[in-house]
Amino acid sequence: MKIFSYNVNGIRAAERKGLSEWLAEAGADVLLIQETKAQPEQIDTAVYESLGYQCYWHSAEKKGYSGVGILSKIAPNHVEIGCGIDYIDQEGRIIRADYGDLSIMSVYVPSGSSGDARQELKMKFLSDFQSYIADLLKERPKLIIGGDFNICHTEIDIHNPKSNKDTSGFLPEERQWVSDFLEVGLIDSFRHFYPDQVDQYSWWSYRANARGNNKGWRIDYNMASEALKNDLQDAAIWPEAKHSDHCPVSVVLKG
């Protein structure tokens, strides 16, 4: 099973840049989407359905903001919209599909870059999300969490760690949260296969030709639960896909 996660920074804008054409070539069994910036009725699902995907969405109450989705060629036996925490669900940040004993979640962690209030909310989200996942793993031990976490974990995940040490997305408390989150029983699938690989990023600022110069951040992850460790086959980052300021990241499960 080939699972991709992609912050599309507006699914309608990404589609105008050829998202579905890329998807037709990518071979994804499941595509986890973040930042749809659309209500379900605003998304042309027919183009994805024509490629064999079933479409599931969880949009923010605020129009043109946030939102997550799952496109799946495999019919899930259950789709969980949201997580039951009001302030998170109001912003459309979590959706999960269950396939027998396997669960696959799309998550969009808030950014804290716009100011102190949003940074405070981001840290609250991280705490609540960690507790939610710890409980969920007891019920659904085979879990993939793909999405935009808006955090670089280590210095090799960011192009200039020294100048960004006080920047939201690379703050010490955020980086520590990722370490603690992994301790809940999760694996950063890309680092599982490529522990020391540098210059591998999933987001670039639109400023100063950051993408052309590969001055990026690795903030998009596919986290796999420890119960899936022996099923992990490969992981990758796909910077050649340019429908967004992010690029897709993938993980492959055996069988």
User: Which residues are catalytically annotated?
Assistant: 108, 148
Rounded Cα distance between 99 and 90, Å, is: 26
Concatenating the DSSP letter of every residue in 131-193 gives HHHHHHHHH--EEEEEEE-----SGGGBS-TTTTTTSTTS-HHHHHHHHHHHHTTEEEHHHHH
Q: What are phi and psi of 135, to 5 degrees?
A: -70, -40
Task: Kindly report the backbone phi and psi dihedral angles of residue 121, in degrees, each rounded to the nearest multiple of 5, phi listed first.
Answer: -65, -40
CA 195 – CA 170 distance, rounded (Å): 19
Helix (H) or strand (E) holding 49: helix 46-49
CA distance 111 to 109: 7
- Paired tokens of 59: 């949009």
Q: Tokens for 14?
A: 């990404």
Beta strands in 28-127 (DSSP E): 30-34, 54-58, 68-72, 78-81, 94-99, 102-108
